[in-house]
Amino acid sequence: MSARRYILKLSCPDRVGIVAAVSAFLASHQGWIVEAQHHSDPDTDTFFMRHEVLASSLPFDLAGLRERFLPIAEEYGMDWSVSDSEVRKRVVILASRQAHCLDDLLYRWRSGELPFDLRAVISNHDTSRSFVEWHGIPHRVLPIAPDDRDAGFRAVDAAIEAAAAEVIVLARYMQVLPSWLCRKYPGRILNIHHSFLPSFIGAKPYHQAHERGVKYVGATCHYVTEQLDDGPIIEQDAIRTNHADTVGELIRMGREVEKAVLARGLRYHLEDRVLLHGRRTVVFG
């Protein structure tokens, strides 16, 4: 519905003239900036920037943009990328028995609300097969045997590779990924954790929350790293509870937050709005 855009995102050491260099470059080619955001981090003297430029305003395609921008990127020592709003990212969803996040993402996919190229759903259970397949999406059942988890994950990884996935979404997958798999896809695996991190890391966070008597429960979308529930946070939210809410009700209420937070986090990622900054993220929302 929106016009085609090229998205330029970058980070580099902060200094005078970065914005001028980038905007002069774009202006010299008549690039029409639709959206622009900057952030300077004073602690690390790092600069972050994201531009959306109308594709039709530029006299070259994405490869041409990349080629012409390269000298500026090198001059300023940028960590950068360009992408095309009309090229959908290839996504694989990993799910388990609890299907609310999977179902929510399927709704957003089929309605076009979240534009991505859904290549496959991988689950360690068969429970969602018919619903997934109704969408015309392959559903792979790949159990993780407790006594040979590594073999299970090698099969999962093979399925990810077969799907040529750029983004892996853990939609309440309930399995801790092995380190080698986390390292293989840095900044590309998104998880939804069912607590307001760093509260209640690990298993059964709603039980932990009930036990502690907190007045809110929350959810956190983060990139997966080798350390459990510790990766850079993309998005969070929380919902009020009270003493009358049983663990079962916390679980029910929490599902709403989990779905919303994962969908927002994934949107930011798909739209190239997230930049990594050590253990933190810059989200140009």
Question: Which residues are the active-site residues?
Answer: 229
CB 21, min distance to a copy of itself, A? 8
How many angstroms separate the CA atoms of 36 and 33, rounded?
A: 7
195-222 core/surface letters (b: 16 or more CB in 10 A; e: else): bbbebbeeeebbebbbeeebeebbbbbb
Given 4, 13, 24, 148, the residue binding a copy of itself (CB under 8 A): 24
Choose between 113 and 148: whose C-beta lies nearer to a copy of itself: 113
From 83, 138, 216, 228, residue interacting with a copy of itself (rule: CB under 8 A):
216
Q: Among residues 244, 197, 203, which one has the least CA distance to residue 217?
A: 197
Contacts of 78 (CB under 8 A, 6+ apart): 10, 11, 12, 72
Q: Smallest gap, in angstroms, from Cβ of residue 233 to a copy of itself?
A: 5
Q: Which of 42, 56, 146, 147 binds a copy of itself (CB under 8 A)?
A: 42
Region near a copy of itself per CB under 8 A, out of 66-74, 139-147, 163-171, 232-240: 232-240
Q: Pull the structure tokens for residue 225.
A: 């790293």
Q: Is 188 in the site for a copy of itself (CB under 8 A)?
A: no
Residue 184 interacting with a copy of itself (CB under 8 A): no
Does position 223 interact with a copy of itself (CB under 8 A)? The reply is: no
Shortest Cβ distance from residue 75 to a copy of itself (Å)?
A: 13
Long-range pairs of 153-160 with CB within 8 A, sequence gap ≥ 24: 153/177, 153/178, 153/181, 156/94, 156/122, 156/181, 157/181, 157/184, 159/92, 159/120, 159/122, 160/92, 160/122, 160/185
Hey, what are 260's tokens?
Answer: 């919303």
Closer Cβ to a copy of itself, 63 or 242, answer by number:
242
Residues that bind a copy of itself (CB under 8 A): 1-2, 16-17, 19-21, 23-24, 26-28, 30-42, 57, 99-100, 103-104, 107, 111, 113, 134, 196-200, 211-216, 218, 232-233, 235-238, 242-244, 246, 248, 252, 255-256, 260, 277, 279-283, 285
